Amino acid sequence: MSRDGTNFTSDNVTGVSPAILAALVGANEGRVPSYGADPLTAALEARARAVFETDELVLFPVATGTAANALALAALVPPYRALLCHESAHIMTDECGAPEFYSGGAKLIGLPGAGGKLRPERIAAAIAAAAEGGVHGAQPVAVSLTQATEAGTLYRPEEVAAIAELAGTHGLRLHMDGARIANAVASLGCSPAEATWKAGVDVLSLGATKNGAMAAEAVVFFDRRLADGFAERRKRAGHLFSKQRFLSAQLLAYLEDGLWLANAAHANRLAGRLGAGLARLPGCRLAHPVEANEVFAVLPDAAIEALLAQGFRFYRWPAEGGGTAIRLVTAFSSDDADIDAFLAAAARHTEAVAAGQAA
């Protein structure tokens, strides 16, 4: 299925993992109660509790990551309060104001941080600054971390825990945007529980679409009291599917037999190869360590142009500290040949540039 392996723009240009497609076909049997009262949804929740090792978990399938994030944040942040997140977070820059819409106008406060990561000191400073404002400022009541980050880096469980502890001290809840949580868990080598609730995460946006589903994500509450009213929020947002079995079937297949982690590990391995290969080329360096399935590399401009002209597709990305990197995303459906082809082309172009410069 990995036709068009030259497209590294995103993991969302891929199709559906075969096991998930098979599950969809298999779910098309007979009549079942609508709106989530079906057996597949029940099986999914049981499966998620096993995977995350907690019966406290409640889970709501939705179809998009924007919906998962915006609904989760609306459950945490009243309209008149604020959320802290990284200034480059997807919720801040790429969802056209979805969190503001869903929360009724809550304020997102973006904080800087190297490598796409929030750090406790900045969070503490932001809380203190808002407190100065009293009723005039919007007081933060939650923090959102992106795992893996927008820079393709990871929070270690102990880094999450340090943020969670600080947040808890000030009464803030912790959300994790896990659009690529599978890549993070697979890379960190910890358990899903250790990566999330054991480190203090209250609510997780569990991504699946980028890693093999057709269109399926889940809002996972580790503290079920936070889910009060959530079913109604989802309904009125148009994210309660009448034929919910087809969402649940995707997620169930995703979490079964380790598919989610296998898919992610595969993509991570290829990204690792790609990053290591690029780092060795003349005039190239990695903008961030490759810790999941994204590579951010700084290449000579002429080499970038040559790669694009050759038909490879990828986005340019502002590099921290200035300059421009390219972002290359691998996926469950990428293969070694795709990586080999890109590296060979990049080698050729960067060497040509180096030769030209030397001349």
Indicate which single residue of 44, 63, 89, 281 sits in contact with a second copy (rule: CB under 8 A): 63
Indicate which single residue of 39, 112, 133, 356 sits in contact with a second copy (rule: CB under 8 A): 133
Q: How far is the CB of 42 from a second copy (least distance, A)?
A: 16
Q: Any residues with CB less than 8 A from the CB of 239 and at least 6 apart, and which? A: 62, 63, 67, 71
> Which structure tokens are listed for 328?
């290359």
Question: 135, 62, 73: which is closest to 104 by C-alpha?
Answer: 73
Q: How far is the CB of 163 from a second copy (least distance, A)?
A: 23
Cα distances (Å, whole numbers) of residue 298 to 142, 246, 328: 34, 41, 11
- Going through the chain in order, the beta strands assigned E by DSSP cover 58-62, 82-86, 107-111, 140-146, 173-178, 203-207, 217-221, 285-286, 294-298, 315-318, 324-329
- Residue closer to a second copy by CB (options 238, 356) is 238
Binding status of residue 107 toward a second copy by CB under 8 A: yes
Cα distances (Å, whole numbers) of residue 184 to 63, 73, 173, 331, 355: 21, 21, 21, 13, 39
Binding status of residue 274 toward a second copy by CB under 8 A: no
- Residue closer to a second copy by CB (options 32, 279) is 32
Using CB under 8 A as the binding rule, the residues of this chain from 165 to 224 that contact a second copy are 209-210, 214-215
- Residue closer to a second copy by CB (options 103, 350) is 103
Binding mask 283-322 for a second copy (x = CB under 8 A): ----------------------------------------
Q: How far is the CB of 289 from a second copy (least distance, A)?
A: 25
Indicate which single residue of 82, 163, 264, 274 sits in contact with a second copy (rule: CB under 8 A): 82
Using CB under 8 A as the binding rule, the residues of this chain from 138 to 157 that contact a second copy are 138-139
- Residue closer to a second copy by CB (options 239, 349) is 239
Angle between helices 336-358 and 301-309 (to 10 degrees): 130
Indicate which single residue of 71, 111, 284, 292 sits in contact with a second copy (rule: CB under 8 A): 71
Please state whether beta strands 173-178 and 217-221 pair in parallel, antiparallel, or not at all (unpaired).
unpaired
Indicate which single residue of 35, 128, 257, 311 sits in contact with a second copy (rule: CB under 8 A): 35
Binding status of residue 97 toward a second copy by CB under 8 A: yes
Binding mask 226-265 for a second copy (x = CB under 8 A): ---x-xxx-xxxxxxxxx--xx------------------
Q: What are phi and psi of 83, to 5 degrees?
A: -125, 140
Q: Which of 134-142, 145-153, 266-274, 350-358 is the region at the interface with a second copy (rule: CB under 8 A)?
A: 134-142
Evaluate the omega torsion of the peptide bond into residue 148 and state whether it is cis, within 30 degrees of 0. yes
Q: How far is the CB of 194 from a second copy (least distance, A)?
A: 28
Q: Residues touching a second copy: how many (CB under 8 A)?
A: 78
- Residue closer to a second copy by CB (options 7, 191) is 7
> Which structure tokens are listed for 210?
């980028």
Distance CA 177, CA 290 (A): 19
> Which structure tokens are listed for 302?
């002429």
Q: How far is the CB of 51 from a second copy (least distance, A)?
A: 24
Q: Any residues with CB less than 8 A from the CB of 209 and at least 6 apart, and which? A: 12, 64, 65, 215, 216, 217
Are 326 and 303 within 8 A, CB to CB?
A: no
Indicate which single residue of 104, 168, 258, 356 sits in contact with a second copy (rule: CB under 8 A): 104
Distance CA 291, CA 268 (A): 7
Q: How far is the CB of 276 from a second copy (least distance, A)?
A: 24
